[in-house]
Amino acid sequence: MPVEILLAIEWALQQKDSEGNFITKNNAHDLVDKVREYFNINNVEYSTFSYDDLIPYLSN
Amino acid sequence: MANFSQALNTDLNGKLTTAIYDASIAGWVQKIQTHVLSSGGILVPLQLNASGNMKTAISEALPVGNNNIGDVDVASCALPVGAATAAKQDTLIAKDFATQTTLAAILAKIIATPATEAKQDTLIAKDFATQTTLAAVLAKIIAAPATEAKQDTLIAKDFATQTTLAAILAKMIVAPATEATLESVRALLAGTLTTALPVGAATQATLAEILTQLNTTGLKKIIDPLPVGANIIGKTVPVDADGDEKFTEVNPAFTRLTSSIVKVVLVNSVAIATTDTYIGDTIDISHMPHINLKVFSTLDQQVKLGIQVNKMDNESSPAYLHRWNGTVFETVNPDSSILSIANGVIYDINSRLPELNSSKISKIRIIAICDVAPTSGSLDVWIEGSVS
Q: Closest partner residue to B269 among A25, A28, A46, by Cβ?
A: A28
- Residue B271 with chain A: CB contacts under 8 Å: 32-33, 35-36, 46, 48-50
Question: Which pLDDT does position B34 carry in this prediction?
Answer: 83
Flag whether residue B380 sits within 8 Å of chain A, measured between CB atoms: yes
> What residue in B sits closest to A55 (Cα-Cα)?
B227
Instruction: Outline where DSSP puts E strands in chain A.
Output: none
- Distance (Å) from the C-alpha of residue A28 to the closest C-alpha of chain B? 6
Q: Do B376 and A33 touch (CB under 8 A)?
A: yes
Query: What does the alpha-carbon distance between residue B173 and residue A31 come to, in Å, rounded to a whole number?
Result: 58
Query: What does the alpha-carbon distance between residue B100 and residue B108 come to, in Å, rounded to a whole number?
Result: 12
> What residue in B sits closest to A25 (Cα-Cα)?
B224
Please list, in sequence order, all residues whose beta carbon lies within 8 angstroms of the beta carbon of residue B293, skipping any fewer than 6 positions away.
B266, B307, B348, B349, B350, B353, B356, B381, B382, B383
> What residue in A sits closest to B298 (Cα-Cα)?
A33
Query: What does the alpha-carbon distance between residue A2 and residue A46 come to, in Å, rounded to a whole number?
Result: 6
Give the A:B interface size as CB pairs under 8 Å.
57
Q: Do B267 and A50 touch (CB under 8 A)?
A: yes
Q: Give the DSSP letter of residue B64.
A: S
Among A29, A28, A37, which residue's Cα sits nearest to residue A4? A37
Question: Which pLDDT does position B191 carry in this prediction?
Answer: 63
- Residue B225 with chain A: CB contacts under 8 Å: 26
CB atoms under 10 Å from CB of B108, counted, come to 7
**Maximum CA extent, chain A:** 30
- What predicted TM-score, i.e. pTM, was given to this entire model? 0.44
Question: Which pLDDT does position B160 carry in this prediction?
Answer: 81
Domain parsing of chain B, residue ranges: 9-42, 254-386
Q: What is the DSSP string of B289-305?
A: SEEEEEEEE--SS-EEE
Domain B254-386 has CATH 2.60.120: yes
CB atoms under 10 Å from CB of B152, counted, come to 10
- Residue A23 with chain B: CB contacts under 8 Å: none
Average pLDDT per consecutive 10 residues, chain B (388 residues; last block may be shorter): 84 90 91 83 82 74 81 70 65 79 84 73 79 84 74 78 84 78 72 64 73 74 78 76 74 62 90 94 85 93 91 73 86 88 89 81 91 94 85
- Residue B274 with chain A: CB contacts under 8 Å: 47-48
Query: What does the alpha-carbon distance between residue B67 and residue A8 come to, in Å, rounded to a whole number?
Result: 136
Interface test with A, best of B266, B268, B269 (most A CBs within 10 A): B269
Of chain A residues 1-60, which have a CB less than 8 A from chain B? 25-26, 28-29, 31-33, 35-37, 40, 46-52, 58-59
Helix (H, G, I), strand (E, B) or coil at B32: coil
Q: Do A48 and B276 touch (CB under 8 A)?
A: yes
- Read off the pLDDT of residues A16-55 as tens digits, 9 standing for 90 and up: 988 899 999 989 999 999 999 999 999 999 999 999 999 9
